[in-house]
Structure 1
Amino acid sequence: MTGSAGTSLSTFFKQADFASGNLVAVLTTQPLDRLLDYKAPEGGCSVGDFVIVPLGPRKVLGCVWGKGAGGFDLSKARSVMAVLDCAPMRDEMHQFLTRVADYTLTPMPAMLRLATRAPGLMDPPSMRKVFRRGAGQPKRRTDARDKVIAVLDEYGGLSFTLRELADMAGVTPQVVKGLLPEGVVREEEAPRDLPYPRLNPMAAGKDLTGPQAEAATVLRGRVGAQAYSTTLLKGVTGSGKTEVYLEAVAECLAKGRQALVLLPEIALTAEFLDRVEERFGAKPAEWHSGVTMTERRRLWKMVGTGDAQMVIGARSALFLPFQNLGLIVVDEEHDTSYKQEDGVHYNARDMAVMRASLCSAAVVLASATPALESWVNVQAGKYHRLDLESRYGPAVMPQMRALDMRIDKLPANRWISPQLETHVRLRMERGEQSLLFLNRRGYAPVTICRACGHQIACDHCDSRMVEHRFLKRLVCHQCGETKPMPDACPSCAVEGKLAPVGPGVERLAEEVTERFPEASVAVLSSDLFGSARALKEQIRTIAQGDTQIIIGTQLVAKGHNFPNLTLVGVIDADLGLQGSDLRAAERTFALMRQVAGRAGRSEKEGLALLQSYQPEHPVIRAILAGDEEGFWQAEADERRQAGVPPFGRMAGIILSGPDVQEVFATAGQMARATRPLLEIGAQVFGPAPAPIARVRGKHRVRLLVKAAKTAPLQAALSRWLGGVRVPPNVRVQIDIDPQSFW
């Protein structure tokens, strides 16, 4: 084994076969800056094959990238240990990984890790014992047995290993085995990875309205052309965008190609999977953090062989090794969760367009409130656009009004205005549901000592700890550190003086319980559920109408359909307008319009009330007026004048390390060596402490690079960073097109 100094990581991926003993260049998942040369194994190998290779004393995963460079004593070269029993990497996937690496300035080994994030890929093919639901019923019922049955019933015909089933049910393996003699659970021998049930694209879909049918026909045509295209499907909340793009999925499957639907939130998958099963007769494959490790490996392999026709997934599903990808749908395309902000920094919406262009696939970007970038691309003629301007069936868009909180004087520690309380009570009398929205998790954002003024902060971050009263703990939302809520102030040791400042959803729930003691209340916040399954079950319960008052964070704004919900009350409509984020107005506009759209999605009329201390703010006025085109045009004009995205380019440089002086010294050195950036007309701002200057014990310093839209930013950044010596203890992260500036 040796480094292939002469083999470029971005060399075009030419299909080639190598006989046993020939020298091949292998890209591994290890953090190395070069390809490694190995001898082809007995039986040979080909470009794109996934292989196991020795690296020192370890076995590591790699991919055959091309012909070895040689130029050394071949007797010292080690051999590839095995070729994996899976589909080889296709040329399209190689080009995609290479272009994402070039765009995001990410090392290729990190890209390969992202593309092989499935456990057990290096394990040999084998049979295994699996457990699935049997036809029997238990003679004796216990809570533990019921939990096992509930998991099996929820996941339909899926099979599990003994440990997976026991862990998901929260029971011991003996409980599962105890259900075998009665036929409640079946034990079978099965290959480790099986194809997914086939979907029927010819099955009839729901009856579509005239505008829906017209949009579906256009999308079917673009998918059927089997050529690259991107279409922005803009439809008001409740307009049936999902049913329209499922018609595009049907066309894709009918052409024998694969479809990928990206969703921004795991909680959305349960309802969506049911809709897909109803439409195509079988459930698609799932890819997200709530899926078992066994299913992740199975999906990765089946996608590569074409035995998974449709995938529903989170942003990382974009890097699965599809055999014949024909359609990518990015649902709620404006959502900020599509931006990956650790590891490889990428925006899944933008990378979806890139991938589709490489494999002649169609892209559908679906949203009621598109990102400004997508709106501008439509204006520039790069994307097509289809509009659905009315809700499906008898439903109409909700009325929207602002409640001026300067008039409604609230007592201390109260957050619900008298007017909003009156409307909630009216809905309770009618048997309807109300949603109170506050985009702040926990009980209170700050805990302060009234004796000395100390604010409880994280020991590892420059961030205030958030009280989570339901958990009886303080939580840092930056690093995840938790500790019990103290009785005495950590600074002055005085007891009984710690007080919460400001509201979170848990504190709002406390007020709701006090003011509406007779109401059934549910709190939807991601940190309150131990599993994706528990969250999905709560959402199902709410949709059935069993809850009178729902309290939620932005989790509730994303695509949920609660037919009996007729009132939305936004507790603090001004919250997102604070700070200097260049996208603050756009995000607030989208979030308010989205959450308001949860109301009145059935036959009953909906109302959205926004509590605001500045109802005359241009963004609040635009939200109430519903003048979306006017808002986007005004926002685009401001961004164009400032030369910021999408009319300019930005890159965030984040330096971090344990020694604050060393981090600042490195940042200062970088700031003095900016000639490569100045040569392309770029501006460099900083260095400056990051808004949260310490996370997990690491001090953080930021620089911001701003350049013209057409400037060769990545090449200049590479030259700039290549000329700076970075100490071993300092980490440098590059964020092209940053979405946040913390």
Structure 2
Amino acid sequence: MLRPRLRVLLPLPLAGAYDYRSPVEGPVPPRGSFVQVPLGGREMIGVVWDGEADPDLPEKKLRDIKAVLEVPPMTESLRKLVEWVAAYTLSPPGAVLRMAMSSPSALEPPGAKAGWTLSAAGLRAKLGRSNARITQNRQKVLGAIGEGEVLGASMLAQAAGVSAGVVRGMAESGLLEPALMPRSDAFPVPDPDRPGPLLGAEQANAAAAMRDATAARRFGVTLLTGVTGSGKTEVYLEAVAEALRQGRQALVLLPEIALSTQWLARFEGRFGVPPALWHSELGSKRRRDTWRAVAEGQVRVLVGARSALFLPFPDLGLIVVDEEHETSFKQEEGVVYHARDMAVVRARLAAAACVLVSATPSLETLTNAETGRYASLHLPVRHGGAAMPEVRLIDQRVAPPERGRFLSPPLVEAVRQTMAAGQQAMLFLNRRGYAPLTLCRACGHRLQCPNCSTWLVEHRIQRRLQCHHCGHAEPIPPSCPSCQAEGSLTPLGPGVERVQEEAAELFPDARRLVMASDTIPGPAAAAEAARAIEAREVDLIIGTQIVAKGWHFPHLTLVGVVDADLGLAGGDLRAAERTVQLLHQVAGRAGRAEAPGRVLLQSWSPEHPVLQALVAGDLDGFMREEAAQRRPGHWPPFGRLAAVIVSAEDEREADRVAHDLGLAAPRGEGFEVLGPAPAPLALLRGRHRRRLLLKARREVAVQPVLREWLAGVAVPAHVKVQVDVDPVGFL
């Protein structure tokens, strides 16, 4: 009798699933089962996939599934997400599956640890029914372990207050016997009914609406907006509580989970226990345990980075995307996808509620809310009656910094006044390192990365020059590499290290803290920085964009933006939108209930619409104007874009393939192809890059156009063609 044929998708960049015979023994594994199969001369783990096997494939070409793994099957909704993401991003389904199998060791049965339990003789001794001589230390051990309880040797010795040798001696004498320890409950269940903070009337109304949306157990998207400090987190945590009451799981995506110390403390204060975490800094064992616990339904709430979207939740009832406007939700390598958009898709496939949260939502999300695709809730005032900070411009044409400095006299005086009043100040500059460019005064040579078309950034503390794109680093040379002039290399422009140096000269008595990815590399450093600031052990914070991500600094009343023009130059479609979002978020760090805040923006172009909108507090008006500029040309979100990036180590090969793609570019109603042209970063990590853009009206499905176009051009194996549907950046 012929055994059934099954399709198995493997976590490899292959076109689709392969056909296999069901195992020799046991029942036919259902769809979603994780199975071990042969592939060539090796064995791999894959997933029994949807669809019917090829009935015409000769039986002799089929190979058997070797084993079915003891792990919950992948749910239908997650399998559909894998297929959807693959189709949307033009990626092989197996490459997307690999993201959903991100901890292969979690597919192995969890190993049980050995411990000790009372033997029959030990139980009689405990109950005083034995004639055996029991020493005082052994009596302590008998008192520390209950009937049927299993404890590890060290744990038992510690509980009894004796040495490990006493435990070993009792085992040798037959009073204890080995047993497997039960699996520890590493992921405690949050308590949804634990009293939370007192909500204001508007917060309570928004929280009730979100609870109702979650309790409905059906798909829907809600945009939750509100000024910084308005309590958006407390409101959506009420939706998390409702998902818990419904017995379903909740996922919260944060843009910088490793730096979200204060958010995690807020969660624990609300629910009594910390959430499960998922981010790149987790150790392999913790990743394995978390992945398995999610699949088995033990994890009820998980907080993670964008990759958490592909974890195997069996009953996902709520997805929250906090700071939904953040570009870090876009994955630029491998499978190129936007976690915010895929979160909406996953919520739809799981019949779950989805909440997008931001004080400065993206134009895409705002448009979806305005057209009725998303519901919307708004919190217009800060919690506790706090006022929004006053925002003022410093026109550097009128009040320029002193020669060789970057802080203008009005900003310096404001910092002095703030610290003299016993309050904290912040200087913000979204640029790491000491200086973004180093050049030779003698010949004009600029120090450039050998692998990328970018300048090397000086990091003076580490005494090195570094590329922030490929990671290349080299010592600062004593002479110019071009003309060999000694001592002629000069740093141009400021980074946070240079601002810190200037602040040390201007405010020598101030206790300073630099907050950048170089100095705050992970959760422990972030927690210590937050503690020091809250404890008022810091007078002046000097930071990059990481200070904009949801921190609460109750004693910070002044924010000075060193270069408000940074990010506004260039031809990036979203430059103005991103800049207004970043500066508004940074400004929101200033002031809370009892201490009103001030924000000072240094600019050489104070008339720019972005800066005028920030001063007027009119973000809505700015976004309306931004939409009015994009709509006539059918630019996103009123049209579609897809970038096709050609890259090769040989520049001529990149040019040839890009030229061929340009010649084969599709033509039709409602779309056009722009390019080819050198990408803004024409050399990146040693590869020459050329870019073409497919620009289409909103109603055009770009994926079929892209598939047909790319299929018609032969691409050598050493040339890479990457597709980015809905790009958010244009480097």
* TM-score with structure 2 setting the length: 0.89
> Could you tell me which residue of structure 2 aligns to residue 92 of structure 1?
77
> Could you tell me which residue of structure 2 aligns to residue 439 of structure 1?
430
Structure 2 vs 1, CA of residues 181 and 454 (structure 1 numbering), >3 Å: closer, same or farther? farther
CA positional deviation for 1:544: 2.5
Q: Structure 1: 5+ residue runs without aligned partners?
A: 1-18, 131-179
Three-state SS of the structure 2 residue aligned to 1:496 is: coil
Structure 2 vs 1, CA of residues 722 and 606 (structure 1 numbering), >3 Å: closer, same or farther? same
> Could you tell me which residue of structure 1 aligns to residue 509 of structure 2?
518
Q: 56, 75, 90: which is aligned to 1:105?
A: 90
Q: CA RMSD in A?
A: 2.1
What amino acid does structure 1 have at the position aligned with 2:613? A
Question: Do 1:195 and 1:307's aligned partners in 2 also have CA atoms closer than 8 Å?
Answer: no
How many Å separate the matches in 1 of 2:55 and 2:464? 59
Q: Structure 1 residue 569 and structure 2 residue 560: aligned?
A: yes
Question: Do 1:400 and 1:624's aligned partners in 2 also have CA atoms closer than 8 Å?
Answer: yes
Q: 359, 363, 388: which is aligned to 2:354?
A: 363
Question: Do 2:418 and 2:557's aligned partners in 1 also have CA atoms closer than 8 Å?
Answer: yes
Q: Structure 1 residue 497 and structure 2 residue 479: aligned?
A: no
Question: Do 2:559 and 2:598's aligned partners in 1 also have CA atoms closer than 8 Å?
Answer: yes
Question: Do 1:20 and 1:43's aligned partners in 2 also have CA atoms closer than 8 Å?
Answer: no
Give a deviation string over 1:431-490, Cα, whole Å, max 9, x none: 111010001111100111112211111111111111111222111111111112211222
Structure 2 vs 1, CA of residues 722 and 214 (structure 1 numbering), >3 Å: closer, same or farther? same
What amino acid does structure 2 have at the position aligned with 1:702? R
CA positional deviation for 1:20: 9.8
How many Å separate the matches in 2 of 1:129 and 1:451? 72
> Could you tell me which residue of structure 2 aligns to residue 48 of structure 1?
32
Give a deviation string over 1:471-530, Cα, whole Å, max 9, x none: 221111111111122112222222211110100011111111111111110011112244
Structure 2 vs 1, CA of residues 544 and 63 (structure 1 numbering), >3 Å: closer, same or farther? same
How many Å separate the matches in 2 of 1:727 and 1:408? 57
What amino acid does structure 2 have at the position aligned with 1:111? V
How many Å separate the matches in 1 of 2:389 and 2:235? 22
Q: Structure 2: 5+ residue runs without aligned partners?
A: 116-161, 166-178
What amino acid does structure 1 have at the position aligned with 2:680? P
> Could you tell me which residue of structure 2 aligns to residue 156 of structure 1?
none
Three-state SS of the structure 2 residue aligned to 1:512 is: helix
Q: How many positions carry a matched residue from both structures?
A: 670
Give a deviation string over 1:563-615, Cα, whole Å, max 9, x none: 00000000011112111111111111111111011000241110000001111
Give a deviation string over 1:96-155, Cα, whole Å, max 9, x none: 11111111111101110111112413544313599xxxxxxxxxxxxxxxxxxxxxxxxx
Q: Structure 1 residue 81 and structure 2 residue 49: aligned?
A: no
How many Å separate the matches in 1 of 2:13 and 2:113? 33
Q: 28, 35, 54: which is aligned to 2:10?
A: 28
How many Å separate the matches in 2 of 1:209 and 1:560? 21
Question: Do 1:680 and 1:716's aligned partners in 2 also have CA atoms closer than 8 Å?
Answer: no
CA positional deviation for 1:409: 2.4
How many Å separate the matches in 1 of 2:2 and 2:458? 62
> Could you tell me which residue of structure 1 aligns to residue 100 of structure 2?
115
What amino acid does structure 2 have at the position aligned with 1:722? A
Three-state SS of the structure 2 residue aligned to 1:414 is: coil
> Could you tell me which residue of structure 1 aligns to residue 124 of structure 2?
none
CA positional deviation for 1:531: 3.5
What amino acid does structure 2 have at the position aligned with 1:627? D
CA positional deviation for 1:61: 2.3
Q: Structure 1 residue 60 and structure 2 residue 44: aligned?
A: yes
CA positional deviation for 1:647: 0.1
> Could you tell me which residue of structure 2 aligns to residue 614 of structure 1?
605
What amino acid does structure 1 have at the position aligned with 2:292? K
How many Å separate the matches in 1 of 2:16 and 2:468? 37
Question: Do 1:680 and 1:712's aligned partners in 2 also have CA atoms closer than 8 Å?
Answer: no
How many Å separate the matches in 2 of 1:182 and 1:616? 75
Q: Structure 1 residue 679 and structure 2 residue 663: aligned?
A: no
Q: Structure 1 residue 542 and structure 2 residue 524: aligned?
A: no
What amino acid does structure 1 have at the position aligned with 2:85? V
Three-state SS of the structure 2 residue aligned to 1:276 is: helix
How many Å separate the matches in 1 of 2:322 and 2:368? 17
**4+ runs deviating over 4 angstroms:** 180-183, 188-195
Three-state SS of the structure 2 residue aligned to 1:322 is: coil
Three-state SS of the structure 2 residue aligned to 1:415 is: coil
CA positional deviation for 1:283: 1.1
CA positional deviation for 1:340: 1.0
Q: 370, 373, 379: which is aligned to 1:388?
A: 379
Q: Structure 1 residue 702 and structure 2 residue 702: aligned?
A: no
Give a deviation string over 1:335-372, Cα, whole Å, max 9, x none: 11111111111111111111111111111111111111
> Could you tell me which residue of structure 1 aligns to residue 152 of structure 2?
none
> Could you tell me which residue of structure 2 aligns to residue 8 of structure 1?
none
> Could you tell me which residue of structure 1 aligns to residue 21 of structure 2?
39
What amino acid does structure 1 have at the position aligned with 2:75? R
* TM-score with structure 1 setting the length: 0.87
CA positional deviation for 1:688: 0.8
Q: Structure 1 residue 418 and structure 2 residue 409: aligned?
A: yes
Question: Percent same amino acid at aligned positions?
Answer: 50
How many Å separate the matches in 2 of 1:692 and 1:255? 49
CA positional deviation for 1:532: 3.2
What amino acid does structure 2 have at the position aligned with 1:688? A
How many Å separate the matches in 2 of 1:540 and 1:726? 54
How many Å separate the matches in 2 of 1:731 and 1:294? 34
Question: Do 2:642 and 2:695's aligned partners in 1 also have CA atoms closer than 8 Å?
Answer: yes
Question: Do 2:259 and 2:522's aligned partners in 1 also have CA atoms closer than 8 Å?
Answer: no
What amino acid does structure 2 have at the position aligned with 1:705? L
Three-state SS of the structure 2 residue aligned to 1:343 is: coil
How many Å separate the matches in 2 of 1:196 and 1:121? 16
What amino acid does structure 2 have at the position aligned with 1:281? G
Three-state SS of the structure 1 residue aligned to 2:91 is: coil
Question: Do 2:258 and 2:281's aligned partners in 1 also have CA atoms closer than 8 Å?
Answer: no
CA positional deviation for 1:225: 0.8
How many Å separate the matches in 2 of 1:340 and 1:461? 20
Question: Do 1:52 and 1:122's aligned partners in 2 also have CA atoms closer than 8 Å?
Answer: no
Give a deviation string over 1:641-667, Cα, whole Å, max 9, x none: 121000000000001111111111111
Question: Do 2:14 and 2:95's aligned partners in 1 also have CA atoms closer than 8 Å?
Answer: no
How many Å separate the matches in 2 of 1:529 and 1:190? 39
Q: Which moved more, 1:603-612 or 1:520-529?
A: 520-529
Structure 2 vs 1, CA of residues 225 and 667 (structure 1 numbering), >3 Å: closer, same or farther? same
How many Å separate the matches in 2 of 1:417 and 1:31? 54
Q: 636, 652, 661: which is aligned to 1:661?
A: 652
Q: Structure 1 residue 638 and structure 2 residue 629: aligned?
A: yes
Question: Do 1:654 and 1:702's aligned partners in 2 also have CA atoms closer than 8 Å?
Answer: yes
Question: Do 1:85 and 1:125's aligned partners in 2 also have CA atoms closer than 8 Å?
Answer: no
Q: Which moved more, 1:358-367 or 1:68-77?
A: 68-77
Structure 2 vs 1, CA of residues 52 and 540 (structure 1 numbering), >3 Å: closer, same or farther? farther
Structure 2 vs 1, CA of residues 189 and 699 (structure 1 numbering), >3 Å: closer, same or farther? farther
> Could you tell me which residue of structure 1 aligns to residue 333 of structure 2?
342
> Could you tell me which residue of structure 2 aligns to residue 475 of structure 1?
466
Give a deviation string over 1:58-108, Cα, whole Å, max 9, x none: 222211114432534434433223222221111111111111111111110
What amino acid does structure 2 have at the position aligned with 1:55? L
CA positional deviation for 1:738: 0.5
Three-state SS of the structure 1 residue aligned to 2:302 is: strand
CA positional deviation for 1:200: 1.1
How many Å separate the matches in 2 of 1:189 and 1:335? 47
Q: Which moved more, 1:405-414 or 1:560-569?
A: 405-414
What amino acid does structure 2 have at the position aligned with 1:713? V
What amino acid does structure 1 have at the position aligned with 2:9? L
CA positional deviation for 1:680: 4.3
Three-state SS of the structure 1 residue aligned to 2:260 is: helix
What amino acid does structure 2 have at the position aligned with 1:296? R
CA positional deviation for 1:191: 7.1
